[in-house]
Chain A
Amino acid sequence: MRRVTLPNGLRVVVEENHTTPVASVAVHYDVGFRAEDRSGMAHLFEHLMFQGAQGRDGDHFQHVESVGGFCNASTRQDYTDFYTVVPAEALDRVIAAEAGRMRAPKITERAIRTQTEVIREEILGKIRKPYGGFPWPRLSPVLFRDFANAHDGYGDHEALLGVTVDDCAGFFARHYGPGNAVLTVTGDVRTDRVLDVVSRTFGELPAAPVPERVSRWEPEPAGLVEGEHLDPMAPMPAFAIGHRVPDPAAGFGTHFAFAAVAAALTGGNRPRLRERLRRETGHTVTFSARTGLFDLLDARDPDMWVLTAIHPGELPAERVLAAVDAELESIARFGPTLEELARRRTSWTNTHHRAMDEPAQRVRALGRFEILFGDAGTADLLPGLCASVTAEDAAKAAATLRADSRALLTLVPGAAR
């Protein structure tokens, strides 16, 4: 892996892998929905970037697809990433297309209106279904107070209706300069050749002022903070709990310790919580838990540990929550068993290998660790960090998941019989 910084500030990561004749390109911009002051602006801008570059015919999808590739993008708390996978021989054209839209995207009044409607359709599809929007984005305003952390980063259609071309130009100038971005290229490529092409394309872009990094930290909730959400389509009640986790910049190991707690509670085929409730009540509860609102180590501070449970109406939420707290207390006291830790290690490592075999996932992981934490290489330390979690580490993590400092979102089912 090679990491270089161009004179205009663009950070470039290149990794060769000649297994399949495929090249991948990701551009991560250091702007996510926590940086917006209008709900959905970062997401809308992500869509608008696909209009492609000024002075070029066709949009970005057409450029990528006509050379045989596919592309997509996502908007997270602290970054927006655009990724493309193409047959290796088409790499130069993708690099040129990415540089073109970093220089000057083609943003028109008409595209803003159309993409605002596209986003409305996207959100309708994701939210208007049983347990849609649960836990994200509904849990965030329960755990957080500050607008940056609490608001709906998916997008508020009403708020987006007022977006102008000038708003977009301002957003672009603030956040989309080369100094605020990471370009990652992986796959069946030659590093020196890639760096050549990059310097002739991205290297020609003028430097732009880089916005100062803003801390999104806010105090942890005092006590239990509760919220309620009516889901007209849900057939069974559910709840989600959210807890703050330590700043990942202070060490990734802690996040793996929290993930180990999640795994002991809800992972594998005999997870503690499901087994306990079935043993004690005869009911089946569907649990899931993870560190990170979207993914492990996918955001800067503050992020959360989240657990969700969908349970039969006959089994009160208090009863399920009591089981969660009992198991958390047990882990805080005795830690997970060595067997639980070993199982977690095996399953996580296997899943990680399989994910990194997918070209889009690999290029996105490298770019994300570079943009969020300043070093793409740390992505390769993850299996070791997962393996080195001790029972004591997990116990310490569990001890902080206290019932008296927690966000609790209760989902009231509208479709319950």
Chain B
Amino acid sequence: MNRLVDRLLPNGLRIMALEYGVMPMVEARLHLPAPCHTPADLAASMLLATGVSLGRDPGDGVELGAAGDVHRVAVTASAAPADLGLLLTTLAGVTGGRPGDLATARGHLAARLRVLGAHPDVATRTALSRHLFGGHPVAHPFPTADDVAAITEIGRPFDPRGAVLVVLAPEDPERLADAAGKALGGWAPGHTTPLPPLPPIVTGRLAALPQPGTAQSRIRLRAPAVAAPDPGYPALFVANNVVGGYLSSRLARSLREDRGYVYGVRSYFDPHPGRPLLAVEADTAAATTSAALEVLGEEFDRLGDHPPTEEEVRAARTYALGSAATRLASRAAFANALADLAGRSEDPLLLFDFARRLGAVTTDEVIAAAARHLTPGRFSGVVAADPGALPETLSLVR
């Protein structure tokens, strides 16, 4: 079961075909590197992605979706096994970098950006990107309506070098890989210029994003972390679970179950290529904003005085190991997990070895990872709130 075929085509495309499950559908994910140096590049990428999504009617047998960001265009496709050929030729068509009906795509994207632009969460995300990476292209995660309107023609063929195709189906992976190679082998190399490397973030710097009248504040924190291939990653992964990675975590206990300040608090890996970060995020009513920030600072302090216990580490590791089975059980979820790794420029093969690495993590390693990475002073970020809801000094360090 789960036989994998992993091939690099002469044109640079990596094909990973996996036999997985019995449900009669093919799941494919295509990671297309598409570095956007300017807002115009980003507008073009997002228009291409919109055009791809509109270009195929799921009623024809292939459900196709695409999303573009500063780094890439990520394509999702699924079809019944009988439509595998159509699915692959459709993906081959995407690589040409033409949006189909540009006017339609523009109308769609403009409508979507208009709604997104009104969402306070999007304003917060943008402010956070600027705060962390101002001056780098990632600091502009969304194009403006004008950026989109200015684009009257797109022909941006994607580059197969660095692209990854993941195909999962209930059938022979050799046959899948052969068919994929045949459909995409003729894709000619293009030309892309990688983005400049992301600078390290400045730690310990919190900024307010004033949103007068906002009933619920948004706390968005980031700290430097390590990437999945790093030997220290599994221990930090478990430490992250202990702190805020699940509902049994310290932060969820403290902010939600004990105090009712939040519906959800999350900490998770935010993997910017080459600059991995750890994220802690919570939304809380204006009236509880200062108190929630206080609790966050306290909990990170407490990690020093009261490091993760044997029992906490055991529970967090068991949860992580179990999630590898429960969260990835469906073929679509497994395909997404592989494609996510490709999307952050990491090797999807890491997924297959992760359980072994997690199982080897010791409590001492988790304590060390927490002490090194999860101290109040390492977090920077943005708190979007009504100015009256904020404490006088915005800091997790007490």
- What residues of B have a CB within 8 angstroms of the CB of A415 in the complex? 118
State whether B333 touches A269 (Cβ < 8 A): no
Interface residues of B in 96-141 (CB under 8 A from A): 104, 107-108, 110-112, 114-115, 117-121
What is the number of residues of chain B that contact chain A, defined by CB distance less than 8 Å?
65
Residues from 309 to 365 in A contacting B, C-beta threshold 8 Å: 310, 312, 340, 342-347, 350-351, 353-354, 356-359
Q: Tell whether, in the assembled complex, residue B21 and residue A19 are in contact, meaning their CB atoms are under 8 Å apart.
A: yes
Q: Can you name 25 A-B residue pairings with CB atoms under 8 Å? A: A61-B246, A61-B247, A66-B318, A66-B319, A68-B325, A114-B260, A115-B260, A121-B216, A128-B215, A129-B119, A235-B118, A269-B53, A269-B54, A270-B57, A278-B104, A284-B108, A346-B58, A347-B57, A347-B58, A350-B79, A354-B25, A356-B23, A357-B25, A357-B331, A415-B118
User: Is A225 an interface position by the 8 A CB rule?
Assistant: no
Tell me if A70 and B262 are in contact (CB < 8 A). no
User: Across the interface, do A19 and B22 meet the contact criterion of CB distance under 8 Å?
Assistant: yes
B315 close to A125 (CB less than 8 A): no
Given A65-B246, A121-B285, is A350 in contact with B80 using a C-beta cutoff of 8 Å? yes
Q: Which A1-59 residues have a C-beta within 8 angstroms of B?
A: 19-22, 59
Residues of B within 8 A of A268 (CB): 57-59
B55-81 interface bits toward A, Cβ cutoff 8 Å, 1 = contact, 0 = none? 111111101000000000000001110
Interface contact A234-B319, CB-CB below 8 Å: no
**Bound CA span A22–B220, Å:** 34
Residue in B closest to A311 when the chains form the complex, CB atoms: B111
With a CB–CB cut-off of 8 A, which chain A residues contact B368? Answer: none
| B322 and A90 contacting across the interface, CB-CB below 8 Å | yes
Provide the A270-314 mask, 1 if CB < 8 A to any CB of B, else 0. Answer: 100000001000011010000000000000000000000010100
> Do the beta carbons of A22 and B329 come within 8 Å of each other?
yes
A350 touches B63 (CB 8 A): yes
A133: Cβ under 8 A from any B Cβ: no
**B284 contacts A by Cβ under 8 Å:** yes
Question: Does chain A have a CB within 8 A of B257?
Answer: yes
Tell me which residues across on chain B come within 8 A of A283, comparing CB atoms.
Answer: 107
Please, how many angstroms separate the alpha-carbon atoms of A66 and B325 in the complex? 14
Q: Which residues of chain B in 143-182 are interfacial with respect to chain A, using CB atoms and an 8 Å cutoff? A: none
Cβ-Cβ contact count across A and B, 8 Å cutoff: 184
Instruction: Point out the residues of chain B lying under 8 angstroms from A131, CB to CB.
Output: 115
Q: Which residues of A contact B25 (CB under 8 A)?
A: 350, 353-354, 357
Q: Is the CB of B326 within 8 A of A87?
A: yes
Query: Pick the contact of A284 from B107, B121, B248 — CB < 8 Å?
Result: B107
Contact status A354-B332, CB under 8 Å = yes
Known contacts A70-B327, A85-B329, A284-B110; A114/B259 CB under 8 A: yes
A266 at interface by CB-CB < 8 Å: no
Chain B residues near A20: list those with CB within 8 A: 21, 325, 329
Distance between Cα atoms of A120 and B214 in the complex (Å): 15
CB-CB under 8 A from A66, the residues of chain B are 248, 314-315, 318-319
* A121 touching B260, Cβ below 8 Å: yes
The listed residue (B59, B260, B318) touching A118 by CB distance below 8 A is: B260
